[in-house]
Structure 1
Amino acid sequence: MLRGYGFKAALLSAATGVWIATVPMGAASAQTLEEALVEAYITNPTLLAQRAQLRATDEGVPQALAGWRPNVEFTADVNGVRSRLKTSATRTESTRMTSGVQLQITQNVYDGGATSAAVEGAKADVLAARADLVSTEQSIMLDVGTAYMDVFKNQAVVSLNEQNVVRLERQLEATRDRYNAGVATLTDVAQAESRLARSRSDLSSARGDLEVSRTVFEEVVGIPPTNLSLPTLPLTLPAGRDEAKSMAVERNPSVVSAEFDRRAALHGIDEQEADLLPSVDVSGTASHDWDKSTKGSFQRTYTVTAQLSVPIYQQGYETSQVRESKMTAAKALQDVETARRSVTEQALSAWETYQSVVAAIVAIREEVRAAEIALDGVQQEELVGQRTVLDVLDAEQELLDAKVSLVQAERDETVAKFELISAVGGLTARDLGLDVEAYDPALHYDSVKDTWWGLGDDVETHDSDAKAAAVQP
């Protein structure tokens, strides 16, 4: 969870009359936002692919550690030689069969610090990849939250438009009755018919938007939305603008990843400079050779060799690599600053968006209240002839527009919360307190970092294990 800051609690809900009145609430089979987040956390292929990428990056550490480990090689050979010597007086033929086996062990004793630098660089790469995984996880959680709220909002808009169509159908029928009674005019009937046709068009458009949002939901979550419930997932937000900024710079995974990339680049300089230093290798060889042409003939040889290699001049290639690595590190340093500025802008923008949406909701709720009062007054005045049917239709449309605006604003408020929490680095399964066992990247890393031998499991097994590790037993 987000700790160490004076957070103010924010309940992720939109418990207004508009939401409650327009969205069916089937409690027994309702699909909650938390369930959608958990489903995506377990099954989303983008997230699973990023976990696999991290496991691949883990292998960089044992690969770097290989520089400190011996190289063992066994060879065997069999040779056959058949010779024929012919002179003017004689002709001689002979056959010689030889065979041998050899075991050679080579161990590097000193490599100028190349292995040490490679190991530290690989570890930094792993930590950067872990931050990239967090970034992907946050992106998926944000996509799920946005898709969920889009479906929920569009359901409410469809319901509002359905209610409006029913109301206008009744109003048209009543206007026709009044026309037949000589109270209303043909113009009143035409206006009611026009407004009903418009409402049916709006309903068709709203249903189309709902289907599009349902498709996006299924793409992100992996299952279709079914009877979404009112979101009540508790969230914690930064207490203020300055806190949002400081948290983003400290916790946002983009900054964390850039910082570890910078460290890896610095170790890369040391690794390249090691190519300019001497290296020492020690090797031992044991061989056994047989000569089949001579019964009982064999030879055993044991050799120990120490080799010192001192680079003098390598055509300028290694020195160019050193210069290149320094420029790579310089770029990585600027990438850190770029990431900090980017997340700062992201956090402050998300904060301001959230604040503006909250303020807008207050105003729109007042607009809805005023529109309801106005509609009631216009309807009463229309009964006594002080208002026309068009006035009533306009008042009803204003109320509908206000309610739709409120639904949209409350959707925007929830999404703004998600965006703000993502900007400060807290939109993960662990921080959200989801009912799922968080994926632990250290498990695979610890299992392979000191491995001397082994080919690992099949690809399918790794995918299954990745999903199993994310499911709470």
Structure 2
Amino acid sequence: MPFQNFRYLACAAAAATIALPAAALGQTLQEALAFAYTNNPALGAARAQVRVVDENVPQALAGWRPTISLSGSAGYADGNIRQRSITPSPLNGQRTITTAESDREVGALSATVTQPLYRGGRTVAQTRRAENQVLAQRARLLATEQQVLQDAVSAYVNVIRFQEEVRLNLNNVQVLQRQLDATNARFRVGEITRTDVAQAESRLAGARSTRADSEGQLANSRAGFQRTIGLAPNRLVAPQPLTTAVRSNEEAAQVASVNNPNVIAALFDEAAARDFIDVQLGVLLPSASLQGQAFRNDNQTQPGTRSTGQQITATLTVPLFQGGAEYAAVRQARQDATRLRQVVDDQRRASTQQAIQAWETLQSARATVEATRAQIRAAEVALDGVQREAVVGSRTTLDVLNAEQELLNARVSLVRALANVVTASHSLAQAVGRLTARDLRLPVPLYDATAYYRAVRDRWAGLGDYAPPQPVAN
């Protein structure tokens, strides 16, 4: 039997029919998820973090590009020039010293272009590493998106669940109040004892306590709804559970081990760590560059002088020994890659466990729903019989109260089981990587995680904000 909404099932169990508001007038789960997708700040921060990591790629590609610099200086020099000379003569030379002022304005201007030719393979390795970091961050964005949507589902379902529990507990208080009134009436005519009245009073006080607790839980769930989704709950329409994307726990585990975003992120993290080994090894290899320079120097040695020129220089640098730190960096990078390889295995195991648990929780919740329905039907029959037997004196007031409590507990259990079915179906989708806005077909434009990357990857200059527009809910 397909699952109906919580209110309908709970009331059907109580043999009552309650009309629901039309879906068009209510707030559906799809609408709430779409609003969370567009407004949740945690998801917005994760998107911004992807754009941050996107910038690693143009930074790495800059290793292929020339650097151009222009430098200049200007100043004033104050000094004297002394020159000594000897005039030759037959008898003895005559010494002459001349002094001249050398006050002058000095200046220099140069332009330099440096083109890297070979950097030990570091540019290639840094680019590969940056690309893998981008892909890992996109996978983390999907993981965040799934978690936000799962939190939104839980918040949505919890509000409906506690609304039903409040309704059931409020109805129970009313029933027990009538039961207490009837018990007092029977006590006054001597049909029962004071003990029966006390039992009814105790059960009513407990029901009021339970109702107050459920009302507090409802208020908390409403606050959680507003925080996760970004608006207050209003006439929620009870959702259907998701159709499962897998047919067994084995299939769920297999799909999760390759499709869970956390596993994908760990794989790209490991690839980036292996690339970083090559980056560190590049420090030990030779590097070559070509430099061109044009310069002009005015009055550098004496007034009225100017020197200009151009030069092209090829430089080859072969590192021999740099203190040993570069070798430690290579060893460190290798150990980090080993660590991240273990993280991949751990994420696979964790995602497999999550998928199996979600599958078993869903099957258990479905079985609980069917069993609780049977329990409610039996409890209704039992309560009717106990009430009839109490009229003729073969049952006590406590028997009636216990039967009513058992029926209430069964109805509350049904509400909770139905909530668990919906939540567990979404948890299973999350475990196998299928709880995304695209998979759920939410009525909202999807965020393009590649738009910013395409805008900045080959950009040589620019300080503008190239972030794509955020999705807007309909």
The match for 1:329 is 337
Residue 38 of structure 2: which of 42, 45, 49 is its match? Answer: 42
Which AA in structure 2 matches 1:456?
Answer: G
Please identify, of 405-414 and 15-24, the stretch whose mean Cα deviation from structure 2 is larger: 15-24
Aligned to 1:309: 317
Which residue is equivalent to 2:154?
146
**Separation (CA, whole Å) in 1 of partners of 2:65 and 2:153:** 48
Deviates more, 1:171-180 or 1:375-384: 171-180
The aligned counterpart of 1:75 is: 71
Asked if 1 retains the 8 angstrom alpha-carbon contact of 2:139 and 2:264, the reply is: yes
Structure 1, residues 328-360: CA drift from partner, whole Å, max 9, x if none? 111111111111111111111111122122222
Q: 1:276-323 CA deviation, whole Å, 9 max, x = no partner?
A: 11111001111223349756x533211111111111122222222112
- After TM superposition, list the pairs within 5 Å mapping 1:215-364 onto structure 2: 215-232=223-240, 234-291=242-299, 298-364=306-372
What residue identity is the alignment partner of 1:469? Q
Q: Which amino acid aligns with 1:26?
A: P
- Which 5+ residue runs of structure 2 have no aligned equivalent? 84-95
Aligned partners of 1:430 and 1:438 also within 8 Å? yes
1:361 CA drift (Å): 1.7
SS at match of 1:282: strand
92-101 or 365-374: which moved more? 92-101
CA–CA distance in structure 2, aligned partners of residues 233 and 99 of structure 1? 79
Question: What does the per-residue CA deviation read over 1:393-423, in whole Å, with 9 as the maximum and x for residues that have no partner?
Answer: 1111110011111111111122111211111
- What's the CA shift string for 1:117-162, capped at 9, x where partnerless? 0000000000000111111111111111111111111110000011
Sort the Cα spacing of 1:290 and 1:331 in 2 relative to 1 into closer, same or farther, 3 A: same
Alignment correspondent of 1:17: 9
Spell out the pairing of 1:11-160 with structure 2 (5 A cutoff). Answer: 14=6, 16-18=8-10, 25-27=20-22, 29-84=25-80, 92-160=100-168
Are residues 310 and 13 of structure 1, via their aligned partners in 2, closer, same or farther at CA, if it must alter by over 3 Å?
A: farther
- What TM-score results when the alignment is normalised by the length of structure 2? 0.90
One-letter amino acid of the counterpart of residue 78, structure 1: A
* TM-score with structure 1 setting the length: 0.90
Q: Aligned with 1:470: secondary structure?
A: coil
C-alpha distance 431-439 of structure 1, shift in aligned 2 (>3 A): same
Give aligned pairs, total: 457
> 2:383 is matched by which residue type in structure 1?
L
What is the rounded CA distance, in whole Å, between the counterparts of 2:461 and 2:225 in structure 1? 44
* Aligned residues of 1:77 and 1:101 also touching (Cα < 8 A): yes
In 1: Cα distance, 2:194 partner to 2:338 partner: 78
Q: Alpha-carbon deviations, 1:144-192, whole Å to 9, x = none?
A: 1111111111110000011111112222222333334444443333322
Distance verdict in 2 for CA 1:46–1:318, change over 3 Å: same
Give CA deviations for 1:347-380 in whole Å, capped at 9, x if unaligned: 1111112212222222111111110111111122
Give the partner amino acid of 1:135: A
Deviation at 1:388, TM superposition (A): 2.2
Matched AA of 2:471: A
Are the equivalent residues in 1 in contact too, given 2:8–2:17 (CA < 8 A)? no
**One-letter identity of the residue aligned with 1:404:** V
What SS class does the counterpart of residue 238 from structure 1 fall into? coil
* Ranges in structure 1 where 5+ consecutive residues have no aligned partner: 1-8
Superposition CA RMSD, Å? 2.5
Structure-2 separation of matches of 1:161 and 1:191:
18
- 1:267 aligned partner, one-letter code: D
Whether 1:391 and 2:399 are equivalent positions in the alignment is yes
- Whether 2:364 is the aligned partner of 1:368: answer no
Residues in 1 aligned to 2:81 and 2:306: alpha-carbon distance in whole angstroms: 26
Instruction: Look up the match of 1:435.
Output: 443
Alpha-carbon distance change, 385 to 124 in structure 1, aligned in 2, over 3 angstroms: same
3-state DSSP of counterpart to 1:246 = helix
The yes-or-no answer on 1:194 pairing with 2:189 is no
3-state secondary structure, aligned to 2:115 = strand
Q: Distance in 2 between the 1:260 and 1:275 partners?
A: 24
Q: Aligned equivalents of 2:164 and 2:28: distance in 1?
A: 16
